């Protein structure tokens, strides 16, 4: 049950994906978020970003910013979505009936924190530009 989702495509080599994932992970860990990063078989990454005060676990439901970095030819597709994960539909509905005041507050908090997806896209963009500059410098060492 997702409450927020944004996506952006970057023209960049898929070889940059591990560096992008590492930069996103390091940035949010430095800001005391809990970050779990997992490399996918297709060369992409799945990153979950949670924080105790903003994202709470309620009866098995866990809210998180889920970031998917997927290679697509000469492009990198990055999707960031905030939602509730970890339960099947019927238990989720039952929990919502009992805990709706808490869930409404929680979802409102998630929406107000939705600028985290902009930060993810900004980190990815900065990483791609930094790596391009490094490649240009190494290809043309005479250029200052």
| CATH label of the domain that carries residue 8 | 3.30.530
Query: DSSP secondary-structure letter at 111?
Result: H
Percent of the chain with pLDDT over 70: 61
Residue 35 domain-assigned (yes or no): yes
Distance CA 91, CA 57 (A): 14
For 14-30, how does the pLDDT look when each residue is reduced to its tens digit (9 = 90+)?
999 999 999 999 999 99
Q: Which domain holds residue 36?
A: 2-139
Residue 144 domain-assigned (yes or no): no
| Closest among 4, 3, 67, 64 to 34, alpha carbons compared | 64
Task: Give the global pTM.
Answer: 0.72
What 3-state DSSP class applies to 98?
helix
Neighbours of 47 (CB within 10 A): 22
Give the model's pLDDT for residue 89: 38
More confident: 144 or 1: 144
Residue 132 domain-assigned (yes or no): yes
Percent of the chain with pLDDT over 90: 38
Distance CA 89, CA 86 (A): 10
Distance CA 141, CA 135 (A): 10
Distance CA 71, CA 77 (A): 6
Average pLDDT over residues 103-111: 51
CA distances from 53 to 19, 31, 40, 106 (A): 28, 13, 29, 10
Residue 18 domain-assigned (yes or no): yes
Beta bridge partners of 50: 34
First to last CA, the chain: 51
Structural domain count, the chain: 1
Q: Which two tokens stand for residue 51?
A: 């924080």
């Amino acid at each position: 049950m997702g409450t927020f989702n944004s996506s952006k495509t970057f023209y960049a080599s898929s070889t940059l994906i591990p560096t992008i994932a590492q930069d996103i992970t390091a940035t949010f860990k430095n800001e005391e978020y809990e970050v779990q990063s997992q490399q996918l078989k297709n060369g992409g990454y799945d990153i979950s970003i949670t924080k105790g005060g903003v994202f709470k676990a309620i009866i098995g439901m866990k809210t998180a910013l889920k970031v998917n970095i997927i290679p697509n030819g000469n492009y990198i597709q990055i999707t960031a979505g905030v939602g509730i994960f970890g339960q099947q539909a019927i238990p989720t509905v039952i929990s919502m009936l009992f805990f709706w005041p808490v869930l409404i507050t929680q979802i409102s908090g998630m929406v107000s924190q939705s600028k985290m997806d902009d930060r993810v896209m900004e980190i990815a963009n900065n990483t791609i530009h930094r790596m391009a500059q490094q490649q240009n410098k190494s290809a043309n060492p005479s250029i200052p």
